[in-house]
């Protein structure tokens, strides 16, 4: 295939608009949520607004923000990660929305509670203990507070309030962070959920907390307002962890979330091209779409020749082709593609891909994490 034909194919495949609930994303390219810690006191400033707007101006159809803490004392573990509560932080987010919309993009905040990943004594609320389903950290050590029913209800309400606030501020949807070993995922995973009440035990029971959060958010916003759910098998520091060993087990997790009102699933993998289960080429996003009937986003080393672990160990990530990605999009294995590090390195990655200017792509290296480019 000639360079011109390849560029035309990429443009035709990726530039198609896509409906998420009552919103339309202008193309199939999303920015993946990536924690940056450039919001002193939890307040996103003008530099954060410009950072996201540059990606929208550079052709990204959907911005999913870095994780932002919901209004619960134990939700966070850093004073430089943005909050999604408090007048000062919400004023900052209003400016972010305005900037992204002015640049032609759509934007959703990722709503986050870190659960047992919180460090004791850390900001923004130093007195709040790490909290999770059973007070068990990802490494199996008992090092925090096992959440009571009151705790669960407060967290569910915090997510719902944040979703309603996002709609009021003019966001185009919300994403619930249910991946990577943070609070919602800690309930989904047997390694951290040892509860014996209605929120523990079977795989379906372990999904109850997540489903109640989805349902509460769904009830707090208008019917067409998208509620996305990010999920993964792997956890931070445990890349072999699995929620479901088979499609049948995955269905036990996906079905309650679908019934609760998830608009689309964002399926986080480290390498998007790897099959999730034996006997099929489908990746996680492909399986979730097949099982749920909902749209899905895929993610994982798109446009790069190594995964993020190598990058953080000092390896430079080279530019990689996206032919395999286009193959999968063309057969509707998933619906949108989230780009992470490639967009940190090059705010115009999307436009360059859509316009066939691949020779102008800027490679990513870890030094770029030190600035809000």
Residue 352 token pair: 């360059």
Quote the CA–CA distance of 349 and 66 in Å, as a whole number: 18
| Active-site annotation holds for 277 | no
Counting every residue written for the chain, the total comes to 373
Evaluate the CA torsion angle 232, 234, 240, 244 in order and state its sign.
negative
- Residue 263 to residue 260: CA distance in whole angstroms: 10
* Cα(113)–Cα(150) distance, integer angstroms: 16
Residue carrying the six token digits 């919309």: 101
Tokens of 20: 């998420």
User: Residue for token digits 């929620």?
Assistant: 243
The two counts, helices (H) then strands (E), for the chain are: 13, 12
In contact, 335 and 289? CB cutoff 8 Å: yes
Identified catalytic residue from 182, 199, 272, 277: 182
Q: How far apart are CA 253 and CA 171, in angstroms?
A: 27
- Angle (CA) 273-316-45 rounded to 5° is 90
User: Which residues are within 8 A (CB) of 62 and not within 5 positions of it... i.e. 6 or more apart?
Assistant: 20, 25, 29, 30, 31, 105, 106, 107, 108, 172, 336
Q: Tokens representing 298?
A: 């895929």
Q: Is the dihedral of CA 306, 308, 312, 313 positive or negative?
A: negative
Q: Do 227 and 24 form a contact (C-beta atoms < 8 A)?
A: no
Residues with a known catalytic role = 182
């Amino acid at each position: 295939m000639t360079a011109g034909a390849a560029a035309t194919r990429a443009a035709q495949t990726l530039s198609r608009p896509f409906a998420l609930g009552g919103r339309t994303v202008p193309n199939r390219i999303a920015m993946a949520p990536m924690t940056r810690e450039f919001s002193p006191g939890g307040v996103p400033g003008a530099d954060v607004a410009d950072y996201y707007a540059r990606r929208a101006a550079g052709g990204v159809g959907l911005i999913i923000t870095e994780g932002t803490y919901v209004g619960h004392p134990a939700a966070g573990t850093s004073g430089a990660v943005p909050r999604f509560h408090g007048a000062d932080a919400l004023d900052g987010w209003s400016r972010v929305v305005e900037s992204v919309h002015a640049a032609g993009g759509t934007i959703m905040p990722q709503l986050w509670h870190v659960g047992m990943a919180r460090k004791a004594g850390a900001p923004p609320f130093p007195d709040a203990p790490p909290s999770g389903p059973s007070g068990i950290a990802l490494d199996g050590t008992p090092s925090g507070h096992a959440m009571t029913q009151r705790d669960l209800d407060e967290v569910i309400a915090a997510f719902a309030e944040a979703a309603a606030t996002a709609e009021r501020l003019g966001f185009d949807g919300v994403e619930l962070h249910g991946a990577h070993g943070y609070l919602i995922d800690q309930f989904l995973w047997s390694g951290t959920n040892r509860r014996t009440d209605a929120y523990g035990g079977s795989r379906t029971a372990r999904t109850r907390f997540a489903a109640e959060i989805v349902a509460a958010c769904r009830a707090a916003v208008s019917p067409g307002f998208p509620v996305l759910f990010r999920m993964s098998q792997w956890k931070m520091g445990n890349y072999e962890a699995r929620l479901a060993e088979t499609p049948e087990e995955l269905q036990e997790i996906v079905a309650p979330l679908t019934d609760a009102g998830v608009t689309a699933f964002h399926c986080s993998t480290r390498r998007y091209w790897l099959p999730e289960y034996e006997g099929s080429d489908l990746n996680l996003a492909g399986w979730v779409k097949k099982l749920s009937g909902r749209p899905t986003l895929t993610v994982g080393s798109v446009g790069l020749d190594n995964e993020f672990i190598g990058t953080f160990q000092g390896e430079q990530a080279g530019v990689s082709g996206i032919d395999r990605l286009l193959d999968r999009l063309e057969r509707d294995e998933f619906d949108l593609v989230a780009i992470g590090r490639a967009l940190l390195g090059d705010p115009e990655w999307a436009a360059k891909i859509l316009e066939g200017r691949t020779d102008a792509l800027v490679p990513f290296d870890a030094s770029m994490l030190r600035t809000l480019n």
